[in-house]
Amino acid sequence: MTNKNKKGFTIIEVVLVLAIAGLIFLMVFIALPAMQRSQRNTQRANDMSRFLTAVNQYQSNNSGKIPFSTDDTGNWAYDNQFVKRYIDNTCTASAAPSCSGGEFKDPDGTNYSFVQKGSGTVTNVAPTVANGAVDHKIYVVLKAMCDGVENQSKTSPGKRDIALFYNMEGGSVRCFDNQ
């Protein structure tokens, strides 16, 4: 009698293992970009919160003023010292403790820019960006707070309140306020 115990894998076992490995790779390649996008949007939300914290610090150090204003001609501007001392990475050791010292850039490395979109109740604050891209603009609404409706602010009873809108990657618009 001969023993027919041969060592090795059958073709069915090999195909089954390859199919399972293929499914795992497919799940990783589908989930990875969504996870990375979520991480970048989380960083953007943290940047907006950090910005609002800097606004509150500025207000504490400047008799309640906000770092955004309109001049006599109606042109909108923000205080450059606010950006240098409270947000930008151009801080010096002598500016501490009010100096944040961190970079204020989008996770893709592009600088944020500010666009004033009026005051009080404003609808369609941040324009829709094609294909869910990020436009790197922080839309600022003075004397406002978030309305709970995407892309809309409502008038705040506080004169020093601001709402920020940002086009997140993937097409959503997030609102942040200093309430």
CA dist 104 → 6, 40, 117, 130 (Å) = 65, 14, 21, 24
Q: List, edge to edge, every strand of the sheet that includes 113-119.
A: 113-119, 137-142, 162-167, 173-177
- Does the predicted model carry a pTM greater than 0.95? no
- SS3 for 173? strand
Cβ contacts of 35 within 8 Å, gap of 6 or more: none
**Can you give the pLDDT at residue 159?**
74
Ramachandran angles phi, psi of 157, nearest 5°: -70, -20
**Can you give the pLDDT at residue 21?**
96
Q: What is the mean pLDDT of each run of 10 residues along the chain (179 residues)?
A: 74 95 91 89 89 85 75 56 68 50 76 80 76 78 82 78 85 83
* Per-domain boundaries in the chain: 11-177
